[in-house]
Amino acid sequence: MSRIGKKPVAIPGGVTATIDNGTLSVKGPKGTLSLTLRDEISYTVDGDSILVKPANDTKQARAFWGMQRTLVSNLVEGVSEGFTKVLEITGVGYRAQAQGRKLKLQLGFSHDVDLDVPEGVEVKTPDQTTIEISGIDKQAVGQFAAEIRRWRKPEPYKGKGIKYRGEYIFRKEGKKK
């Protein structure tokens, strides 16, 4: 039994949810998101909550139950509050700069790395070593943050690279003489 799936998703004020033609649409102050519904799961909207339950007692329905409830919860949270990921850059000469719909990274390569910011995602650089990625779609925000981090993952000896705020980098001792 899914412990996550049993819990109903609360709908805050100012957010509306509707189910039609196998699609759940959630509209809130930050925008509108939709999710294609699975046949193995039954969804019910009653006033201020959304209930997610398996439609039958198959193994596959039970497997999808918790994940589908979390996806519905992410839709509601995204349109009401939004999601933010913060990346920190460590290293001499490493810096970032947001320029409209582009992000320019200087990461010690012989060239600058220019990344196009995807639709629905907003990027800010409060200073040269911090990147704030925000948006209403949790998957898009996390994916773009992972693509940025992939250019220079933090290394274990000096800790140089791009890391998430709050991420712990396991440090290793260098060579001994």
The band of 177, judged by pLDDT with boundaries at 50, 70 and 90, is confident
CATH homologous superfamily of 83-164: Ribosomal protein L6 (3.90.930.12)
Q: Where are the domains of the chain?
A: 3-80, 83-164
143: part of which helix (H) or strand (E)? helix 138-150
Q: Is the pLDDT of residue 1 over 80?
A: no
b/e string for 129-157 if b means 16 or more Cβ within 10 A? eebbbebbbbebbeebbeebbeebebeee
Determine the pLDDT at residue 3.
86
Please state, rounded to an integer, the average pLDDT across all residues of the chain.
93
Between residues 47 and 166, which one has the greater pLDDT?
166
pLDDT (mean) for 20-45: 93
Pick the CATH number of 3-80 from 3.90.930.12, 3.30.43.10, 3.40.50.150, 3.30.1330.10: 3.90.930.12
Determine the pLDDT at residue 175.
87
Whether the domain at 3-80 and the domain at 83-164 fall into the same CATH topology: yes
- Enter the pTM of the model: 0.90
pLDDT in tens, 57-109: 899 999 999 999 999 999 999 999 999 999 999 999 999 999 989 999 999 99
Determine the pLDDT at residue 104.
96
